[in-house]
Amino acid sequence: MHNPAIAHHIAQNTGPLLQMRDVRQSFPKPDGGELLVLDGVQLTVQEGEIIGLLGRSGSGKSTLLRLIAGLSMPTAGEITYLGTPVTGPAQGIAMVFQSFALFPWMTVIENVQIGLKALGLPEEEIRSRALGAIDMIGLDGFESAYPRELSGGMRQRVGFARALVVHPNILLMDEPFSALDVLTAETLRTDFIDLWSEGQMPIKAVILVTHNIEEAIFMCDRVLIFSSNPGRITSEIRIDMPHPRDRLDPVFAELVERTYVAMTVQAGRQRPTTGAGRSDHLPGAGIGIMLPQAEINDLAGLIEVLDSPLYDGRADLPILAHSLRMAVDDLFPLAETLQMLRLADIEGGDIQLTPAGREFAQAGVDDRKRIFHRHLLAYCPLAAHICRVLDQRSMHKAPITRFLNELEDHMSPEAARQTLHVVIGWGRYAEAFAYNGHDQYLSLENPS
Ligand code: ADP
Ligand code: MG
């Protein structure tokens, strides 16, 4: 324990490590309105637990971690760390990011030592601690390598070492495995859990943000499910399986299924109950929602499978994923998209085609496009918005930067680009609008 004040606190402290009460976070929008990102968040972190935060992109998970780390202050509510209100960066809390965030001009050991410089420790201790962290996380022998010489998995190990070297009480991890390839990610998860179970890591609790259900069940003691717009914690799944966990264990599969159900019940509740698509008559309303990565071919394929005699329009999502040999985490964005477009309903872990979805399944190419066009403009506010803007322009054309800038008021530049990519794919299929990759202009397909 490097910090005597905190050491003293821990010794005295019998309560939770961290507590959040009624936390709310909103951001001012450029147009003067408020973007409500988190609302009514309650969270208690006890010593010894790994907590998972599971939710869609844009649901406020990173925002929540920043609040916990003391990097920003909530709009309302209270956050206490070891019983004391968080008013700035807390010393016993460290973070691992998705992007490795290493300094390219520094060696591995220099990158790891950065975490310690601020603590004002003697040079010798800085070095021995850094070597210890490097050793523990499996980077032995790479101390003097530069980041560019390392694979993605090794770079992320440096990210872990840099966070662990300060011996934080709470380790925050923001989708730390999602930029890695499948096998590297699995190795790193397994190594992390081994070190944790053996009590080798100098940390007391972990908060892991992820949008991968299986990862959450593999690693966490409990998983909190986040809704979007605004982000709230809507349910909690406890995982009592001992480590190491076996993904093929029926108990594991059952937990994945339960988590699915919890997420899909939530998705059902989030549906607007008023007249479908009303909001898209208000310019700009509802356009700032991140769209799931769902290609039209996959959407059509899913509709066909659901319509087949085997399912007759209705299927249990995890069973369907299993029979399609898809990870449930890959099927989910497709299911959500069909729900958004009212081509299917999701309820309690089941997906069911709507009458329009069944009509689509049985239609020929042109009728499919017509049905998709109708639903796209009625239920995807962004697509309707793009058509409206193009329609109002003299040449019925606009550069995509016009829409990218607008989306960036609601989401990160990367999310904006992805969302626009998705909606362009749908719009092209529906023959609603066309996109020219050369001049990067969108144009209306059939100007009225
Ligand atoms: P997640 O990590 O769940 O993907 P984030 O916490 O990154 O979500 O973002 C949630 C929402 O808050 C997004 O719509 C994002 O654009 C917005 N947001 C995050 N930080 C800021 C900020 N500093 N100013 C304005 N909007 C922000
Ligand atoms: Mg995030």
Q: Where are the domains of the chain?
A: 4-262, 296-443
State the residue for tokens 């450029």. 30
Mutation test of ligand 1: which of 24, 34, 37 has the most ligand atoms closer than 8 Å to its C-beta?
A: 37
Work out the angle at residue 92's Cα, subtended by the Cα atoms of residues 68 and 48, and round it to the nearest 5 degrees: 85
Neighbouring-strand partners of residue 353? 344
Residue whose CA is at the smallest distance from ligand 1 atom 20: 63
Work out whether the CA dihedral 238, 242, 244, 247 comes out positive or negative. Answer: negative
Confidence of residue 324 (pLDDT cuts 50, 70, 90): confident
Distance, first Cα to last Cα, the chain:
71
Instruction: Specify the ligand 1 atom closest to the Cα of 174.
Output: 2
Residue 4 makes CB contacts below 8 A (sequence gap 6+) with: none
Residue whose CA is at the smallest distance from ligand 1 atom 16: 411
| Distance (Å) from CA 9 to ligand 2 centroid | 31
Report pLDDT for 360.
96
Helix axes 296-307, 355-362, angle to 10 degrees: 100
Q: Find the DSSP H helices in 204-249.
A: 213-219
Cα–Cα distance measured from residue 407 to residue 386, given in angstroms and rounded to the nearest whole number: 11
Own/partner contacts of 294-299, CB < 8 Å, gap of 24 or more, are 294/333, 294/334, 294/336, 294/337, 294/422, 295/425, 296/372, 296/425, 296/426, 296/429, 298/334, 299/334, 299/337, 299/338, 299/343
| Distance (Å) from CA 414 to ligand 2 centroid | 11
Residue whose CA is at the smallest distance from ligand 1 atom 5: 60
Cα–Cα distance measured from residue 184 to residue 192, given in angstroms and rounded to the nearest whole number: 12
Report pLDDT for 35.
86
What is the number of helices (H) and of strands (E) in the chain? 16, 16
Instruction: Specify the ligand 1 atom closest to the Cα of 28.
Output: 25
In the chain, how long is the greatest CA-to-CA distance? 74
Span 14-40, mean pLDDT? Answer: 90
Both structure tokens of 357: 């979805």
Helix axes 400-407, 413-429, angle to 10 degrees: 130
Work out the angle at residue 396's Cα, subtended by the Cα atoms of residues 392 and 400, and round it to the nearest 5 degrees: 100
Residue whose CA is at the smallest distance from ligand 1 atom 23: 27
| Distance (Å) from CA 104 to ligand 1 centroid | 27
Cα–Cα distance measured from residue 75 to residue 182, given in angstroms and rounded to the nearest whole number: 38
The one-letter code for the residue type at 397 is K
Residue whose CA is at the smallest distance from ligand 1 atom 24: 27
Nearest to 202 by CA among 234, 172, 177, 169: 169
Q: Which CATH class is domain 4-262?
A: alpha beta
Is the pLDDT reported for residue 1 higher than 80? no
Q: Which ligand is nearest to the CA of 230?
A: 1
| Distance (Å) from CA 409 to ligand 1 centroid | 10
Residues with CB under 5 A from ligand 2 (ion): 62
Residue whose CA is at the smallest distance from ligand 1 atom 15: 411
Is the pLDDT reported for residue 50 higher than 50? yes
Residue 85 CB burial class (10 angstroms; 0-12, 13-18, ≥19)? exposed
Q: Are 238 and 222 in contact (CB under 8 A)?
A: yes
Cα–Cα distance measured from residue 67 to residue 170, given in angstroms and rounded to the nearest whole number: 13
Cα–Cα distance measured from residue 157 to residue 117, given in angstroms and rounded to the nearest whole number: 19
Is the pLDDT reported for residue 216 higher than 50? yes
Poorest-confidence range of 72-86, 144-158, 264-278? 264-278
| Distance (Å) from CA 350 to ligand 1 centroid | 30
Rounded to the nearest integer, the mean pLDDT of the chain is: 87
Both structure tokens of 389: 């803007």
Strand 222-226 relative to strand 50-54, pairing: parallel
Task: Kindly list the protein residues whose Cβ atom lies closer than 6 A to any atom of ligand 1.
Answer: 27, 35, 37, 55, 57-63, 410-412
| Distance (Å) from CA 63 to ligand 2 centroid | 7
Q: Which ligand is nearest to the CA of 54?
A: 1
| Distance (Å) from CA 62 to ligand 1 centroid | 7
Is the pLDDT reported for residue 92 higher than 50? yes
Both structure tokens of 174: 């923001």
Residue whose CA is at the smallest distance from ligand 1 atom 17: 411
Residue 27 CB burial class (10 angstroms; 0-12, 13-18, ≥19)? middle
| Distance (Å) from CA 174 to ligand 2 centroid | 7
Poorest-confidence range of 104-108, 283-287, 336-340, 416-420? 283-287
Mutation test of ligand 1: which of 26, 36, 56, 63 has the most ligand atoms closer than 8 Å to its C-beta?
A: 63
Q: Are 212 and 53 in contact (CB under 8 A)?
A: no
Span 229-244, mean pLDDT? Answer: 91
Instruction: Specify the ligand 1 atom closest to the Cα of 175.
Output: 2
Helix (H, G, I), strand (E, B) or coil at 427: helix
To the nearest whole percent, how much of the chain has pLDDT over 70? 92
| Distance (Å) from CA 330 to ligand 2 centroid | 18
Cα–Cα distance measured from residue 253 to residue 340, given in angstroms and rounded to the nearest whole number: 27
Report pLDDT for 172.
97
According to DSSP, residue 148 is labeled G
* Tens of pLDDT, residues 326-346: 877 888 889 989 998 999 998
Neighbouring-strand partners of residue 312? none
State the residue for tokens 């076996």. 246
Instruction: Specify the ligand 1 atom closest to the Cα of 63.
Output: 6
Neighbouring-strand partners of residue 148? none
| Distance (Å) from CA 121 to ligand 2 centroid | 32
Report pLDDT for 273.
35
